[in-house]
């Protein structure tokens, strides 16, 4: 790559404006809160896993600021309950419910094929599962890899034409700081050589980070204005450790998790701040990884984390992308030579 090309690429991703530099730092005197979210009127957003946890809070606060929000949920009953609750908390909210099961690529395709709007401004890839007993998706993939990465990869690719129809499209993918401890093994993503719930989970979260940064690199190479962000929420109270498949782990497990959630994890709205920060800060550069700024990035103010090995590991990210296209059958139709949108 020539010096001129490197300079041009840096200009697209580095926070060079005053607003961007301000967005990249916070202090106790200048906390970023939900009140910091700018007006979202005119934006159309999809939030996956929006029926509970940080997904629900993310959808609620986007709607509160004027966005039209599509709640992408696996269960009709739970999704309808979440939509009714959101409308009660935010009178006049523009929200709709659509069913989506990331554990079933047929459901993912049905969601994308049924898209009825002329564009999509924001996709928040929030839905996921964590440390569940071993199982496989409808398509035969290990469930954590299949839901957390492959389902997300396929959904984003199938919605790409609608994202590129928006003036300033943005994709936010929820990873985890647990990914820092992953021994990423492209030859064992499907747990063929043994299954350990925690290590399989953090490997899937590393895959989320690889995906988000590789999507940005490919958008940059095509000259597109799409911005892809990754976030880590920190330790956050949600039902991801107690609901779904984890609900069958027994009473002792449930009691321990409820105790941990109550005393060691922070309130759900705090965990949603990194997602909302990445989704709404106007001049945040593409390729950002937003984490809490506290000890071990487990809690605190949203900040950009720049020194992260996975962000620089372009070779592994590219190999994972190629593998994901083969496994899901979804190829990203990213045009080349398109002038970048401002």
Question: Half-sphere exposure of residue 206, counting CA atoms within 13 Å on the CB side?
Answer: 25
Q: Angle at the Cα of 298 (from 304 to 289), degrees rounded to 5?
A: 25
Backbone angles phi, psi at 71, to 5 degrees: -85, 110
From residue 109, alpha-carbon distances to 95, 154, 164, 196 in Å are 21, 8, 18, 30
Q: Which residues contact 221 (CB under 8 A, 6 or more apart)?
A: 336
Question: Half-sphere exposure of residue 245, counting CA atoms within 13 Å on the CB side?
Answer: 15
| Known catalytic membership, residue 201 | yes
Give yes or no for a contact between 69 and 52, defined as CB atoms under 8 angstroms apart.
no
Give yes or no for a contact between 134 and 195, defined as CB atoms under 8 angstroms apart.
yes
User: What gap in Å lies between CA 49 and CA 315, rounded to an integer?
Assistant: 30
| Virtual torsion, Cα 176, 67, 112, 152, nearest 10 deg | 0
Burial class (CB in 10 A: 0-12, 13-18, 19+), 248: exposed
Tokens representing 284 are 């945040």
User: What gap in Å lies between CA 59 and CA 54, rounded to an integer?
Assistant: 8
Angle between helix 152-164 and 105-113 (nearest 10): 10
Residue from 56, 195, 201, 263 carrying the catalytic annotation: 201
Catalytic residues: 201
């Amino acid at each position: 790559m020539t010096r001129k090309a490197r300079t041009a690429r840096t200009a697209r991703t580095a926070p060079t404006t005053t607003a961007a530099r301000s967005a990249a730092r916070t202090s106790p005197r200048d906390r970023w809160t939900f009140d910091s979210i700018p007006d979202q009127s005119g934006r159309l957003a999809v939030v996956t896993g929006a029926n509970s946890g940080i997904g629900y809070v993310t959808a609620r606060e986007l709607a509160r600021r004027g966005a039209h929000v599509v709640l992408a949920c696996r269960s009709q009953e739970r999704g309808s309950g979440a939509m009714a609750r959101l409308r009660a908390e935010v009178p006049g909210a523009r929200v709709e419910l659509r069913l989506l099961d990331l554990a079933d690529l047929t459901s993912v395709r049905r969601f994308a094929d049924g898209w009825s709007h002329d564009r999509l401004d924001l996709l928040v890839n929030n839905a996921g599962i964590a440390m569940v007993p071993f199982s496989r998706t409808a398509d035969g993939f290990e469930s954590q890899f299949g839901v957390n990465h492959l389902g997300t990869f396929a959904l984003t690719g199938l919605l790409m034409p609608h994202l590129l129809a928006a003036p300033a499209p943005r994709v936010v993918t929820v990873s985890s700081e647990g990914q820092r401890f992953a021994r990423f093994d492209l030859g064992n993503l499907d747990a063929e050589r043994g299954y350990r719930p925690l290590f399989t989970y953090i490997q899937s979260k590393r895959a989320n980070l690889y995906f988000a940064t590789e999507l940005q690199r490919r958008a940059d190479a095509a000259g597109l204005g799409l911005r892809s962000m990754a976030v880590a929420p920190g330790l956050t109270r949600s039902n991801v450790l107690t609901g779904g498949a984890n609900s069958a782990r027994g009473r002792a497990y449930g009691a321990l998790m409820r105790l941990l959630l109550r005393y060691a994890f922070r309130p759900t709205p705090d965990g949603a701040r990194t997602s909302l920060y990445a989704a709404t800060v106007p001049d945040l550069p593409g390729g950002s990884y937003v984490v809490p700024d506290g000890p071990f990035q487990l809690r605190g103010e949203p900040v950009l984390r720049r020194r992260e090995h996975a962000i620089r590991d372009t070779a592994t990210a590219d190999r994972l992308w190629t593998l994901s296209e083969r496994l899901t059958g979804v190829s990203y139709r990213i045009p080349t030579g398109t002038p970048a949108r401002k």
